[in-house]
Amino acid sequence: MSEANMNIAREEGTAGATRGPGESADSGVRGSAGSPADAKADWYAGIADDNLRRWAQAKGWKDPLAAVESNYNLERLIGQDRAGRTVVLPREDATPEELQAFRSRIGVPDSPDGYSLPMPEGAPADFAQTAAQWMHEAGVPARSAAHLAERWGAHLQAQQQAAARQYQVESAAQVEQLKSEWGSNFDANAEHARRAGLHFMPAAEGAARVALMDRVERAMGSGAFLRFMANVGRGLSEHHFVHSGETGAPGVLSPGEARTRIAALRADRAWTAAYVAGDAGKAAEMSRLHRMAFPGE
């Protein structure tokens, strides 16, 4: 045996003499204080928050690497693009603060003023505020509320347009029926109806009077409206106007006075009812007053 091999053998013998039977070369290190095994077992001690430490211990993670791997796998499961954007539904016994936090998380404004709701044309001025109050009470997110308001407005507009088309169809049919019924007298009766509207519709301007007549016609129906107004106008035309031409003569009024008298008679419900019913005296009086009030017609 060479001298070098003899020295190695002596060193191994010396090292072997210090170990007990069955012990490995590093068995004295494992399990001792400050060893890697103890460091892994005590890694929870580095977590200062008690609740967080107990939660981590309950998870059973053996070391920080295991905790990191668990969180990484969770993000892969739910999608990294959704991590941090998940919403937990409140419990049945959730506190008002928890409910408010949930509502804010899903986009519910803090107050009804936070909504911006498009309203259809013709909607009442205060309806947007009322609808916003409803939306807030129901916990509707702002974007969803705006979408609902927009769809509701479009639906309402479609209904109004459909109703307008239906009215035009029915009105045209009723007018055609009157044309067939009145024959060659249709134009004359239509003129009677126009004159009655001029005399009895309480509006100062022509556009306002036409708008009022349109509302009445829609309420009554074109056929019934034209029949009624033609009968009233015919009563005006069947009596001759009496006018001496001398302002100040007995029984003669100035145009302004005559218009004032006409307005007073129109406001008298009993007088108007008798006139519409065909009272000849009332018709004669109105005809005379009309000639005085509108001498150019």
104-122 mean pLDDT: 91
pLDDT band (50, 70, 90) for residue 198: confident
Q: What percent of the chain has pLDDT over 70?
A: 75
Query: 87 to each of 6, 90, 104, 106, 205, how far by Cα in Å?
Result: 74, 9, 11, 8, 62
Q: Which residues contact 231 (CB under 8 A, 6 or more apart)?
A: 192
144-158 mean pLDDT: 92
187-199 mean pLDDT: 81
Q: Which residues contact 202 (CB under 8 A, 6 or more apart)?
A: 212, 266
Q: What is the pLDDT of residue 22?
A: 44
89-118 mean pLDDT: 91
Q: What is the pLDDT of residue 27?
A: 40
- Determine whether 114 is exposed, middle or buried from the number of CB atoms within 10 Å of its CB (0-12, 13-18, 19+): middle
Q: Give 226-238 pLDDT, tens digit per residue.
A: 998 888 877 765 5
Q: Which of 90-94, 170-174, 269-273 has the highest mean pLDDT?
A: 170-174
Q: CA 225, 228, 233 angle in degrees (round to 5)?
A: 115
Q: What helix, strand, coil percent values describe the chain, rounded to 5?
A: 70, 0, 30
Question: Could you tell me the end-to-end alpha-carbon distance of the chain, in angstroms, rounded to an integer?
Answer: 151
Q: What is the pLDDT of residue 59?
A: 87
Element holding 65 (H helix, E strand) = helix 64-78
Instruction: Determine the Cα–Cα distance for residues 87 and 294; give it in Å rounded to an integer.
Output: 77
Q: What is the pLDDT of residue 38?
A: 57
Instruction: Determine the Cα–Cα distance for residues 40 and 36; give it in Å rounded to an integer.
Output: 6
Q: What is the pLDDT of residue 245?
A: 40
Instruction: Determine the Cα–Cα distance for residues 106 and 180; give it in Å rounded to an integer.
Output: 64
Q: Average pLDDT over the chain, rounded to whole?
A: 78
